[in-house]
Amino acid sequence: MFVRRRPLLRAAAVGGGAYMAGKHVARRQEEQAQYEADQDQRISDLEQQQASQPPPSYQQPPPPSPSPPPAAPSQSSAMLDQLNQLAALHQQGVLTDDEFSAAKAKLFGT
């Protein structure tokens, strides 16, 4: 029985496949190198921009203002109005018991 083999064709197919795979890997490496070069260029541009700008001046915040004086009659009426608004919201169901207690404590400053 005569078996016909095509070693030359097989070698060409294997060699062509290897060539295409190598070409693909080389192209990917080239794209990666180009991407990294672009990133390096962007970073150096940003560093140059930051170097050319003056550093930001930081200002210290003003000292806290002294605590307000005891409630005057006009302030107590405003506080009473706010307390009435809170109570109305609580009765309408907009504020829960915990929220109402927290808002009331904040209003009285305790």
Sign of the C-alpha dihedral, residues 95, 98, 99, 100? positive
Q: Is the confidence at residue 33, as pLDDT, over 90?
A: yes
Q: What is the pLDDT of residue 23?
A: 92
Q: What is the pLDDT of residue 66?
A: 66
pTM of the model: 0.38
Q: Which of 33-37, 60-64, 106-110 has the highest mean pLDDT?
A: 33-37
